[in-house]
Amino acid sequence: MLIALSIIGGFIILTFGAEALVRGASAVALRLGIAPLIIGLTIVAFGTSAPELAVSVKSALAGNPGIALGNVVGSNIVNIGLILAITALIRPITVHSQMVRRDIPIMIAASIFVWCLLLDGEVSFIDGAILFSLLIGYLVFSYISSKNNPEELDIDTKPQNPLLSIALIAVGISMLVGGGILFVDGAVDLAKQFGISEVIIGLTIVAIGTSMPELVTSVMAALKGQSDIAIGNVVGSNIFNVLGILGATALIHPVSAAGFNDIDFMVMVIFAIMVLPFAWSGLRIGRREGGVLLAGYLGYTSYLVMQVV
């Protein structure tokens, strides 16, 4: 009963947190003249990735590296194969050319780079420092690019008090963190009752749980016609997961890849690569592409289920 309440309560909190975050971030973009794409790639993406950071650090310190790494790898797979897919199925996503030229290739490169770092079996302190430094470089580069190449804003949100906008962002992120952890704790307890390994738990239950903010936020942004925030949230979250979350976690405690195999990392990279041609074709990710991504994710999930059985 308590487990069910934890899962349901966490989802409800996530829903309201995502709504607050999207409203606040959209208003900030409009007032400051910052392109919605940059807001989606930074504030929204990092805010919705806050549960992944909390869970990964907590798991690494608790001696559960399988959950820590599985959370990052699994979340990146879920973000594309499930979240981007569902969002596109609900409402086709318009993709800005800048996303195709810069941000998606960076997501692909970051995914491949992390896979290379894991070839020796762990992400060390030095690896973590490199990853986190790359994240800082990406943030600075994105900000400078947005100022040098101003884009027309397509947000329909009316300007509001800046303090209210900041408050909405802070409340939204807080609710996403709290709701995400509550959801994950309930899901993990449920999985452990069935004797599922922590690697599988990290790749599935925890990954889906900590990615719920991305799902709710992207769907709501798409329904509001804010495609830049919807896809920027997914791509930005994936970049933040591998560079920021895995980097920060490794700086606190080395992250072991014990129990994983190359298939998990390969799937993460393949999904990242698939986004590029889909987005390139007509600068739009439609329902057909969403269906292909979802089918691929269901196939990978089936593979994981077979490992348990």
| pLDDT tens track for 32-71 | 666 766 777 777 777 767 777 777 777 777 777 677 788 8
> Is residue 294, in this structure, part of any structural domain at all?
yes
What CATH number should be reported for the domain holding residue 166?
A: 1.20.1420.30
> Mind listing the pLDDT tens digit for each residue in 32-41?
666 766 777 7
Please, which pLDDT band fits residue 309 given cuts at 50, 70 and 90? low
On whether residue 278 sits in a domain, the answer given is: yes
pTM over 0.85: no
Model pLDDT for residues 84-121, shown as the tens digit of each residue:
999 999 888 888 888 898 899 999 999 999 999 999 98
pLDDT at 155: 43
Task: Determine the pLDDT at residue 150.
Answer: 53
Looking at the DSSP bridge assignments, the partners of residue 94 are 284
Average pLDDT over residues 156-162: 59
94 falls within a domain:
yes
Antiparallel, parallel or unpaired: β 255-256 and 122-123: antiparallel
Residue 93 domain-assigned (yes or no): yes
- Asked if residue 284 belongs to a domain, the reply is yes
The pLDDT-based confidence of 23 (bands split at 50, 70, 90) is confident
Residue 220 carries which side chain, given as an amino acid letter?
M
CB atoms within 10 A of CB 140: 10
* Residue located via tokens 């896979």: 115
- Least confident piece of the model among 3-12, 24-33, 147-156: 147-156
DSSP 270-283: HHHHHHHHHHHGGG
Q: What is the pLDDT, as a whole number, of residue 152?
A: 42
Q: Is residue 48 part of a domain?
A: yes
Q: Tell me whether residue 155 is in a domain.
A: no
Q: Look at the alpha carbons of 159, 165, 166, 167 in this order and tell me if their dihedral is positive or negative.
A: positive
pLDDT at 154: 45
Q: How far apart are CA 22 and CA 3, in angstroms?
A: 29
Cα–Cα distance, 112 to 132 (Å, whole number): 16
Residues spanned by the domain of 138: 1-149+161-308
Q: Contact at 8 Å (CB) between 59 and 214?
A: no
Confidence at residue 296, expressed as pLDDT on a 0 to 100 scale: 95
Q: How many domains does the chain have?
A: 1
272 belongs to a structural domain: yes
